[in-house]
Amino acid sequence: MTAALCSRGKLNSRLCGTVLPGLSGSRRKGFSRAAGLGGVLVNNFVFPFPPGLSARTSGPATVQRTKGQDNKVQNGSLHQKDTVHDNDFEPYLSGQSNQSNSYPSMADPYLPSYYPPSEFDWNLRSGRVFIIKSYSEDDVHRSIKYSIWCSTEHGNKRLDGAFRSIGSRGPVYLLFSVNGSGHFCGVAEMKSPVDYGTSAGVWSQDKWKGKFDVKWIFVKDVPNNQLRHIRLENNDYKPVTNSRDTQEVPLEKAKQVLKIIASYKHTTSIFDDFSHYEKRQEEEEGARKERQNRNKQ
């Protein structure tokens, strides 16, 4: 039995052809596609696919799209608003299906059934959009889990200034990518100014100061090759995929990026490894408490 490397470049619990409850090809036992069982494996419990979905559809956090919806930016042109409809997995993962007595409640806000939103208008009239380059996927996991983020001191000031300046005239969207990953992993909206006097204490490194609230909109892996053709005039016309942390994306280019991310039919996301990052966080918190106890002695 051979474990397969997923497109995210990591050893995952997907096996060649099938995934069985209680068996894993690696240390990660998060959200996996139960290819041979017609369902989604969540911590060794198989949730059957709702009607119209199968193991050959896109993975967790993927949506059913309206018939005829355009899923590509053709020749770089923009189309009118695409409406993305609710994920049919939601009643199964939240315990609201007709068979709700058979399934445990999975209503935690960071489960894949909550992404994407029922509607998303990528064709912004106003707003500001920034690239977020994370040092680790662990921190992206914690951002989704706690609905917060923290950048560098310089990045926090830039984002805080943008949020305060635009006010209620439009959203501030953050396009997340982990350094060296080769893909974008999601989109979040900045929902509060930066609180410089608070440290969240949840990040993989303790050096980050301040925090602000975010609301995650898309959680999906979108390869860089889907976006590399979009070049930023405010960054020497480099591809958007070559941006540094808190690089602003001009609005017209941002709309192109958002449309591609919104309509891309992904097969992987950070949810595939979520339980792995949960375990890593528990281990880090345990080690941190041990250090604190030793320092008190």
| pLDDT tens digits, 148-195 | 999 999 999 999 999 999 999 999 999 999 999 999 999 999 999 999
Percent of the residues in the chain that have a pLDDT greater than 70, as a whole number = 62
Most confident of the ranges 63-72, 91-100, 213-222? 213-222
Task: Assess if residue 176 is contained within a domain.
Answer: yes
CA of 182: how far to CAs of 36, 77, 112, 189, in Å? Answer: 29, 24, 22, 22
Burial class (CB in 10 A: 0-12, 13-18, 19+), 77: exposed
The band of 205, judged by pLDDT with boundaries at 50, 70 and 90, is: confident
How far is CA 254 from its chain centroid? Answer: 17
Task: Assess if residue 137 is contained within a domain.
Answer: yes
Which residues constitute the domain of residue 136? 127-295
Task: Assess if residue 42 is contained within a domain.
Answer: no
Residue 1 has pLDDT above 70, yes or no: no
CATH number of domain containing 181: 3.10.590.10
Mean pLDDT for 18-33 is 33
Mean pLDDT for 14-33 is 32
Where would I find the H helices in 55-135? 90-93
Query: Which of residues 242 and 64 earns the better pLDDT score?
Result: 242
pTM of the model: 0.66
Task: Assess if residue 4 is contained within a domain.
Answer: no
Query: Which of residues 242 and 209 earns the better pLDDT score?
Result: 242
The band of 80, judged by pLDDT with boundaries at 50, 70 and 90, is: very low
Hey, what amino acid is at 149?
A: W
Per the structure, the count of domains in the chain is 1
Task: Assess if residue 186 is contained within a domain.
Answer: yes
pLDDT recorded at residue 295: 83
User: H-helix or E-strand containing 292?
Assistant: helix 274-296
Query: Which of residues 16 and 147 earns the better pLDDT score?
Result: 147
Query: Which of residues 126 and 23 earns the better pLDDT score?
Result: 126
Percent of the residues in the chain that have a pLDDT greater than 90, as a whole number = 50
Task: Assess if residue 39 is contained within a domain.
Answer: no
Task: Assess if residue 219 is contained within a domain.
Answer: yes
Residue with tokens 């920034």: 130
User: H-helix or E-strand containing 11?
Assistant: strand 11-15
Task: Assess if residue 235 is contained within a domain.
Answer: yes
Contact 61, 115 (CB under 8 A): yes
pLDDT recorded at residue 108: 57
